[in-house]
Structure 1
Amino acid sequence: MKKLGLLTGVFLLCCLSSCVEQQNFEQYDEVAVTPLLEAALLYLETPESEINRQTSPSFVSTTFDFEAFSEQFVAEGILEGSLIYQLENTTSKPLQITLEFLDASGQVLDTETFLMDPAPTAILNREVVYGPAGKPLEILTNTTALRVSGTNLGDQTSVSGEPEPRFVLRSTAKFRISLT
């Protein structure tokens, strides 16, 4: 029994003399939630036979709605972002692809142009950064539509030796948004 009392006394003495840090419950104010959101943006595919059918050099011209920033909290909370493009040309034609960022009145805010050699070529990858380390974020936050144009810089008769020759555009978007 004396040992139990002595052990309890030593335990209490250790607890009273241990280091205890003052708790700061105001740290909650410093918490910031900034998720990284990633999503597919565009996918466009055109077979070489369709490019050959066109009577003009333009083989595609289309406009897509871009409403990624239609919600105010997203437009105001975006911190940075990037658009990643992957283009593949297995046709026998050199191609020029133009992507235009349009505002609500149809004015061009920014343009990305891609020149591609005929097959065989490597897949073209490009990442365009927006925010403190890149282009102004206002380009993205004011964009309401994307216009994609494709121009055949070659002829309308040649055919690639590749199986199922085609042009493919893939793109994804990554955005870091503050939710605080």
Structure 2
Amino acid sequence: MESIKKLIILCCVFLGMLISCTQQTLNFDQVDDLIAEPVMEASILYVEAPERIINQATETNFFSQDFNFDAFSSDFFAERVIEGTVTYEVENATSKALEVTIDFLSESGDILDTEFFEIGPAPPARVLQREIPYGGQGRSIDILINTSSIRVSAENLGGTATTSPFPNANITLKSKGKFKLSVL
């Protein structure tokens, strides 16, 4: 008899817990309010040129290269990107004043966007950092979606006779992107 009383009490407590943990009305429309916008971050470019190569160049334009870059135009990215930021960092440890130009190019080779950096000679080593927003209040997100390649070119404004006091004097360009995507 004692075990039946315990079983009845246990069932009443369990039933009470079930009733207290449920809402009177269930809202199945909550999924409509769900917003899924993950942030994706990735490296875009890394280019480095030692000062000895700059000194060997016969023209002031010592570097020009087109890099195939279809990541922005891939269906996964192009259909989901909402906004983002491309961050550039240019470090000059050479004895040269330099100009660096970065062009985003369409599949047909048209220039969609350009960033220009003018950086003085070392010492001390010079670092420029710039963030460029796309989408929202920034530049058009269509620039990124239509980018098929990236052109990097650099000019030496400081001659070929001087050398930096740094043992591994380089000009280094790094860039990365941070983008908000919609998955719904």
Unaligned runs of 5+ in 1: none
Does structure 1 conserve the Cα–Cα contact (< 8 Å) formed by 2:133 and 2:139?
yes
- How much identity, in percent, do the aligned residues show? 42
Secondary structure of the corresponding residue to residue 123 of structure 1: strand
Structure 2: how far apart are the matches of 1:155 and 1:135? 36
Matched, 1:134 2:138: yes
How do 1:100-139 residues align onto structure 2 when only pairs under 5 Å count? 100-119=103-122, 120-139=124-143
Question: What does residue 40 of structure 2 align with?
Answer: 37
Question: What does residue 82 of structure 1 align with?
Answer: 85
Question: What does residue 173 of structure 2 align with?
Answer: 169
Question: 1:67 is matched with which residue: 42, 58, 70?
Answer: 70
Moved over 4 A (4+): 14-20
Unaligned runs of 5+ in 2: none
Secondary structure of the corresponding residue to residue 51 of structure 1: helix
Write out per-residue CA displacement over residues 117-153 of structure 1, whole angstroms, 9 at most, x where no aligned residue: 0001432111111011211101101111100000001
Number of aligned positions between the proteins: 180
Amino acid at match of 1:158: T
Question: What does residue 26 of structure 1 align with?
Answer: 29
Larger deviation, residues 21-30 vs 145-154: 21-30
Instruction: Name the TM-score, length of structure 1 as normaliser.
Output: 0.88
Tell me how large the CA RMSD over aligned residues is: 2.4
Instruction: Name the TM-score, length of structure 2 as normaliser.
Output: 0.86
Residues 161 and 103 (structure 1), Cα distance of their counterparts in 2 relative to 1, 3 Å cut: same
Secondary structure of the corresponding residue to residue 109 of structure 2: coil
